[in-house]
Amino acid sequence: MTKNPLTDLTSLKTRSSSKWRRFAPDVLPMHVAEMDYDIAENIKELLISKVANSDLGYTGPVPEVAAGFVKFAAERWGWQVDPKQVRLSTDVGVSAVEILRAISKPGDKVVINSPVYSSFFEWIPEVGLEVVDVPLVPAEVQWQLDLVALEAAFKQGAVAYLICHPHNPLGKLFTREELVAIAELAKKYNVLVISDEIHGPLTYADQEFVPYLSVSEAARETGVCITAASKSWNVAGLKASVIVTESAKVVEKLKKLPAALHWRSGLLGAFAMGEAFSNSVDWLDAAIELNLKSRELLGELLAKHVPMVKYWVPESGYLAWLDVSALNIGENPALKIIEEQRVAFVPGVDLGKQYGQYVRINFACHPASLERAVLALAAYAK
């Protein structure tokens, strides 16, 4: 049986990752997407054995990565992937940037759906391209994709549509129907769909994650999946990811991708990813179970202390998007909360300029941390 991966609070404070170093030590970090969990024992042993053997050179062939991803995709999602179309890359951010660079010319347009992971707003201009936002539309249970607005954006000319599936910060899963409709539009307007599926493995057991490339022939002809084990197995510092294609058409579109993406991934990251996908499902399920408990606790704490804060229950992942407008915290709630309450959320404006009255919280943490974070919001409840 996998042991409970929750790390004790004292050890967490000795970590050196961005989560624990970005703010002063008295600030509770609820921002960056890292889990407060110990990594899987088998991944830890693999890493320790490579370090003990001074096996830290450049990344050569690592067939374990494609083999692991193919196995995981088939067993978890019933998605049959061709191992020859799984290539190693540095990380999901680099994959997105290099794919965009390979298919575009300066000034081309790329569609996204805000509110969305802040780096999407950086990756696109990094290669001289223009962001076209087709915002998701808030609804009671989950935010919705506006397919009419999406088609209008494609019609005006876009080279790519970068989707976040599952969606950060909403934990929204695009439905099979939505993905099929996206693929039809992408085919009609010759748009490359870049599907960032990094949060896919973290989907809750009562929900279905449907990989974009699995939905139709049109999806296979228009899409590329970028993903990694880094988010789901908590090893983001190791630097490795995969780019997955399924059709000759997309392979041809991506022919300018630098071969060096392989060498620019970390050796430890590549092997950890292979091990995660092939042998670490028990650990993943234990992490999802903890996330589920934490998601429930977050709902209870919000209902008890700040019922006026609107929250959408994520279908996947450990991030939640909170509408704090009713608390009247001022122009930049996240900034004020750090200054006054010493708790760090991600400011809503980082995920789209119109979301000043939202914050993003990472709830893959201790119950005590979650309570302190919600009480920080409660300080503003009248």
Does 164 contact ligand PLP by CB under 6 A?
Answer: yes
The interface region with ligand PLP, picked from 70-78, 208-216, 226-234, 325-333 by CB under 6 A, is: 226-234
Count of positions (residues) in the chain = 382
Interactions with ligand PLP, residue window 7-46 (CB under 6 A): 33
Q: Which of 114, 214, 232, 241 binds ligand PLP (CB under 6 A)?
A: 241
CA–CA dist 189, 215 (Å, integer): 18
The interface region with ligand PLP, picked from 73-81, 106-114, 229-237, 289-297 by CB under 6 A, is: 229-237
CA–CA dist 295, 317 (Å, integer): 10
Amino acid at 346: V
Tokens of 282: 């028990």
Helix (H, G, I), strand (E, B) or coil at 203: strand
Closest listed residue to residue 309, CA positions, set 349, 358, 348: 358
Helix (H, G, I), strand (E, B) or coil at 236: helix
Asked if 35 contacts 364 with a C-beta cutoff of 8 angstroms, the reply is yes
Q: How far is the CB of 170 from ligand PLP (least distance, A)?
A: 11
Does 236 contact ligand PLP by CB under 6 A?
Answer: yes
Q: Rounded to whole angstroms, what are the CA distances from 98 to 141, 224, 242, 255, 316? A: 35, 12, 13, 11, 27
Q: How far is the CB of 268 from ligand PLP (least distance, A)?
A: 14
CA–CA dist 376, 365 (Å, integer): 16
Q: Which of 70, 228, 242, 267 binds ligand PLP (CB under 6 A)?
A: 228
The interface region with ligand PLP, picked from 43-51, 87-95, 105-113, 353-361 by CB under 6 A, is: 87-95
Q: Which of 47, 62, 88, 92 binds ligand PLP (CB under 6 A)?
A: 92
Q: Which is nearer to ligand PLP, 93 or 348 (CB)?
A: 93
The interface region with ligand PLP, picked from 37-45, 85-93, 171-179, 208-216 by CB under 6 A, is: 85-93
Q: Which of 195, 216, 230, 316 binds ligand PLP (CB under 6 A)?
A: 230
Q: Which is nearer to ligand PLP, 93 or 266 (CB)?
A: 93
User: What torsion, rounded to 10 degrees, do the Cα atoms 154, 160, 164, 165 define?
Assistant: 80
Q: Which is nearer to ligand PLP, 192 or 236 (CB)?
A: 236
Angle between helices 41-52 and 281-305 (to 10 degrees): 120
| Residues 181-200, mask of contacts with ligand PLP (x by CB under 6 A) | ---------------x-x--
Q: Which is nearer to ligand PLP, 72 or 380 (CB)?
A: 72
Helix (H, G, I), strand (E, B) or coil at 121: helix
Residues of the shown chain interacting with ligand PLP in the complex, contacts defined by CB under 6 A: 33, 91-93, 117, 164, 168, 196, 198, 228, 230-231, 236, 241
